[in-house]
Chains A and B, each alone.
Chain A
Amino acid sequence: MQKPADIEQLKKWAKQLRMDVLMMLNKAKSGHTGGSLSAADIVTALYFYKMRHNPKEPKWADRDRFVLSKGHAAPIQYAALARCGYFSPKELTTLRRLGTMLQGHPDMKITPGIDICTGSLGQGLSMANGMALALRLDKRPSRVYALLGDGEVEEGQVWEAAMSSAHYKLDNICAMLDFNGFQIDGAVTDIMNIEPLSEKWKAFGWHVLMIDGHDMEQIIKALDDAETIKGKPTMIIAKTVKGKGVSIFEGKYQYHGVPPSDEELKKSIEELGVSVEGWPLLKILTSNT
């Protein structure tokens, strides 16, 4: 049985992960800031509350699976994996470097805790369906969580997969949509309107929940509710802010694929209210080794 959520502790973790993301990206001098930060609270809730997983046994057959369909947000998943203990937080300093286990986009072959390779948008839900079918065939208790972007759902394959999840009544799937309103070229409504979103998923046979994707209590409740829905997959549409957590990045699509500069990192540290002491990673990241 699941332990009750410690909301305050989860909020602290979310801050830590945001911090890790910004430092990683600053050090790597490349990577995706906006979409990593908007997903921080959701990813925190999954790794530190909802998912059944064991960092000591990353390939545990009965674990829940996580598909980061919007694979460019890999830094937030890497931060979560490191803080859960899949590997040392020191590894985070190697993001995107030659020879690193932390590739620009998730790689299941070399990173402990990564369940599938992503990075090319629109393919994740299909793979989640495959996992859900296999887990159901093997009568495993595992659930499959998939995180999609709102720009990403412009890919036709997403809707092919949406049809399949419902057709095969995959109630062991819980998909989440990081509804931050922006893609690379601008606002989603300007580039390619995806609305009405909730009606679309409902029409495809999904149970749909709409939440504030930065309200930890709402995220927890939605994840718990999804588990009780039988006979159909659940989509949690999480309204989020791109770049959430640090005001300089919030709501700015220009930071989609731009890492924080040193100056921006300093401001972020101040704003997140994270003291340098007690954040061992910061020391690692700021030293020039």
Chain B
Amino acid sequence: MKLLGTREVYGDTLAELGALNKDIVVLDADLSGSTRTSVFAKKFPDRFFNMGVAEADMMGTAAGLASCGKTAFASTFAIFASGRAWEQIRQSIAYPKLNVKIVATHGGITVGEDGASHQALEDIAIMRAIPNMTVIVPCDGIEARSVIHEIVKYNGPVYVRVARAKFPVILPDDYKFTIGKGVVVRDGKDAAVIANGLMVSHAIEAANILGKEGLNIRVINMSTIKPIDRDLIARAAKETGAIVTAEEHSIIGGLGEAVAAVLAEEFPAPMKRIGIQDIFGQSGTADELLPHYKLMPKDIADAVREVITRK
């Protein structure tokens, strides 16, 4: 399977868009090589601002730029983007509904060896909680590219989480992302797995495993966590009767709870959340950590079998 880095795609796409749109400015906090904003920085040094290791200052500066008509992209690792500067994002960016795009790299457990201090497992929860904030987790490089194009067209604050690890490419080249719309990437009627990020590819593999057992599993890529696609979730519950969510994030406050809330309000159905079970991460390679925290296709398949028994 072809692998593509979502952060690499982000850097390249940003540089392409920078040539077309002179109002795009980019900020980083001493991680431009890792976040790939360095690609933009090399092409457009006048529109790139390295703020040093100062994430809170970066978010405030991005807000100021946006208030004067710029489309400001601010990037750093997801833990520092969401966590270190949370209240600056809330007060200076989201409350005034300014046009700042926070593209956070190194989300999730696949950050790997750096360990717990660098693994953002709560970023989606805390960004989702802020009014006016749109929250997106692309599932592969193809989607990441489309996401960056679409958020530039949208006027308002957005949080996009991309990854350090390269993800398998699962979407077709001509795929087009729409903010707030989930996509059925594999149809089925016995249960639905609603996933985002890396877990979409794991969900597809899980569906393949279960297919061999005669189970027909729907897989939904829910890349926008907020605003969430309520109709698609309710339809999946009605048509399949059992839901599993899968995310590279804490089961608290992320995709799983967002889906659970929709189910509870629209069409209650048995469900199970695959994700980090309310614990901190640790050092290890991405390949070791994913099975350790039960985020593999096999784990999703187990969860699906279990929810189906509760139908």
Contact = CB atoms under 8 A, between A and B. Distances in A.
Contact of B292 (A98, A104, A118, A191): A98
Contact of A30 (B50, B83, B113): B113
A285 to B, nearest CB: 17
Interface residues of A, number: 30
B113 A122 contact: no
B289 A151 contact: no
A103 B51 CA distance: 28
Contact of A96 (B51, B56, B115): B115
Interface stretch (B1-9, B25-33, B232-240): B25-33
A247 interface: no
A68 to B, nearest CB: 12
Contact of A154 (B53, B118, B292): B53
A120 B54 contact: no
Interface in A222-278: none
B282 interface: yes
Contact of A98 (B51, B57, B114, B288): B288
A119 B117 contact: yes
B116 A103 contact: yes
A6 to B, nearest CB: 35
Specify the main secondary structure of chain B where it touches its partner: helix
Given A98-B283, A100-B283, A103-B282, A152 B117 contact: no
Nearest to A100: B283
B54 A156 contact: yes
Given A30-B112, A107-B115, A185-B50, 17 more contacts: A30-B113, A96-B283, A98-B289, A98-B292, A100-B283, A104-B115, A105-B114, A119-B116, A120-B83, A122-B53, A152-B53, A156-B56, A183-B30, A185-B28, A185-B30, A185-B33, A192-B54
Interface of B: 28, 30-34, 38, 50-54, 56-57, 79-80, 83-84, 112-118, 282-285, 288-289, 292
